[in-house]
């Protein structure tokens, strides 16, 4: 399919399901002699419970630490010996693992993934849990606790969503929850979520579809489907009033975070908000950059982005103050620009530039068959979040349908007419104080 005015974005694929419920997606691309194996488990931090958080991310680490037929450390050694690379990641909504290998090493990658899917718990010990728990705690110290502005996003989410909402707690979990996790807790979590019936396997590259089918059946077909996955309870996410939170951190300059409830990922409004974020902050001629950084010189930087997720999305504006500038002044300027956009409308050239940027980034990501954002990953993502790996045919169409009026309406509907969480991150000891002097 060719999107009107754009490029062909079809990714041909075949789809089949094993008897144990494992979904398999295969895309043949013979441009290079490589193969990409990509596994998505329908489990993320949203499947956890208050007091028992961080389990999904913990398993992102444990899954690399050996299984029944792959001794600890051998996973990487075998892949690297075959010329392959691998990685994984965890979000609120899912966990994924991938391998990029020479095409003749496809069977090795499939065997490795099948072994840790079916036989990880046979090697799961208290010692291994304790070791990886400390690794995750140290990761949290480095990426959150000791990182400038590191706790900002989880602080905003804590106030944007009610306590029992699945997006209320951070993906990495809390120190207390990680410390409290028992071996039985962790094993039970794995048995529930890391099984063929809760997973999808995408394979892309220079592969033969019939051979892929044979190998997948050989290595995954005998694994038990796993138990039914508990439904995620999602309380309504609304704000009755604006919320302002202030935290002190080891930073030099105050930073303003503003967040609103946005649109679910892959909906039409999700695309509208993506384009709006570009109009607001991408490039030196964007609305907020020009007002705050270039003309007003009250901000060091500014960004806006739509974070579409499986359950609900959020829209963010983040700006770092210039020395001597109060964060109230930044918020006033942001809101004035939003009101001006509604009042004056979006110029066609602004919309066109934003949509072109989306298309360019989209096409570039699909030049790769593997890794984060490559074809295998994208097919799995579409299957997971829309129910169809073929949604790629319609994805760019969402953006090309966005009109200037849609953008103005979105500002009013999602931002000006809704309450927001405002987080101020300020230097330690300077709560309520400008960056270089008393607030005026």
Per run of 10 residues, the mean pLDDT along the chain (length 440 residues) is 56 97 97 97 96 94 94 95 97 97 98 97 93 92 93 97 96 92 94 97 97 98 96 92 96 97 97 98 96 97 98 98 97 98 96 94 90 96 96 92 97 97 92 41
| Cα gap 310→382, rounded to integer Å | 11
| Phi, psi (deg, nearest 5) at residue 23 | -85, 135
pLDDT, tens digit, for every residue of 143-156? 999 999 999 999 99
What tokens does 2 get?
């060719």
Residue 8's pLDDT is: 67
| CA-to-CA separations, 191 to 196, 197, 379, in angstroms, rounded | 11, 11, 25
Residue 386's pLDDT is: 96
Write down the domain spans for the chain. 14-220, 243-427
Model pTM?
0.93
| CA-to-CA separations, 10 to 74, 86, 127, 356, 364, in angstroms, rounded | 37, 26, 47, 18, 14
SS percent in the chain: helix, strand, coil, step 5? 45, 20, 35
Domain 14-220 has CATH 2.40.50.100: no
Q: What is the CATH number of domain 243-427?
A: 3.30.830.10
Residue 10's pLDDT is: 86
pLDDT, tens digit, for every residue of 234-272? 999 899 999 999 999 999 999 999 999 999 999 999 999
- Indicate the SS3 state at residue 76: helix
Whether 14-220 shares its CATH topology with 243-427 is answered yes
| Cα gap 99→301, rounded to integer Å | 36
Based on C-alpha coordinates, what's the Rg of the chain?
Answer: 23
DSSP assignment of 130-148: HHHHHHHHHHHIIIIITST
Are 29 and 205 spatial neighbours (Cβ–Cβ below 8 Å)? Answer: yes
């Amino acid at each position: 399919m060719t999107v009107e005015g754009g490029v062909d974005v079809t990714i041909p694929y075949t789809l089949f399901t094993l008897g144990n419920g494992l979904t398999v997606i295969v895309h043949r691309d013979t441009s290079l002699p490589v193969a990409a194996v990509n596994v998505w488990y329908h489990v993320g931090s949203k499947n956890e419970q208050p007091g028992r958080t961080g389990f999904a991310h913990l398993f992102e680490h444990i899954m690399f630490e050996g299984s029944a037929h792959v001794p600890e450390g051998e996973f990487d050694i075998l892949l690297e010996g075959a010329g392959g690379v691998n990685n994984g990641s965890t979000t609120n909504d899912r966990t994924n693992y991938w391998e990029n290998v020479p095409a003749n090493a496809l069977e090795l990658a499939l065997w490795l993934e099948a072994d840790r899917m079916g036989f990880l718990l046979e090697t799961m010990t208290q010692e291994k849990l304790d070791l990886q728990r400390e690794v995750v705690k140290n990761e949290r110290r480095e990426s959150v606790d000791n990182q400038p502005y590191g706790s900002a996003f989880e602080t905003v989410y804590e106030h944007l969503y009610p306590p029992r909402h699945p997006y209320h707690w951070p993906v990495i979990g809390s120190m207390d929850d990680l410390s409290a996790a028992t071996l039985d807790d962790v094993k039970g979590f794995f048995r529930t979520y890391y099984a063929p019936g809760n997973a999808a396997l995408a394979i892309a590259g220079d592969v033969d579809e019939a051979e892929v089918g044979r190998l997948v059946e050989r290595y995954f077909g005998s694994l038990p489907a796993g138990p039914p996955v508990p439904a995620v309870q999602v309380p309504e996410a609304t704000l009755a009033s604006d919320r302002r939170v202030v935290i002190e951190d080891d930073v030099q300059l105050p930073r303003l975070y503003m967040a609103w409830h946005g649109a679910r990922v892959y909906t039409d409004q999700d695309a509208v908000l993506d384009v709006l974020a570009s109009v607001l902050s991408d490039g030196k001629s964007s609305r907020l950059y020009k007002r705050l950084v270039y003309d007003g010189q009250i901000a060091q930087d500014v960004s806006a982005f739509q974070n579409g997720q499986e359950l609900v999305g959020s829209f963010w504006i983040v700006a770092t103050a210039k020395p001597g500038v109060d964060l109230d002044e930044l918020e006033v300027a942001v809101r004035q620009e939003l009101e001006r956009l509604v009042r004056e409308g979006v110029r066609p050239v602004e919309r066109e530039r934003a949509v072109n940027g989306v298309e360019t980034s989209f096409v570039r990501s699909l030049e790769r068959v593997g890794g984060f954002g490559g074809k295998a990953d994208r097919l799995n993502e579409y299957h997971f979040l829309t129910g169809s790996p073929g949604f790629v045919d319609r994805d760019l169409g969402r953006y090309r349908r966005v009109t200037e009026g849609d953008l103005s309406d979105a500002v009013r509907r999602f931002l000006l007419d809704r309450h927001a969480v405002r987080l101020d991150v300020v230097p330690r000891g300077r709560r309520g104080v400008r960056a270089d002097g008393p607030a005026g």
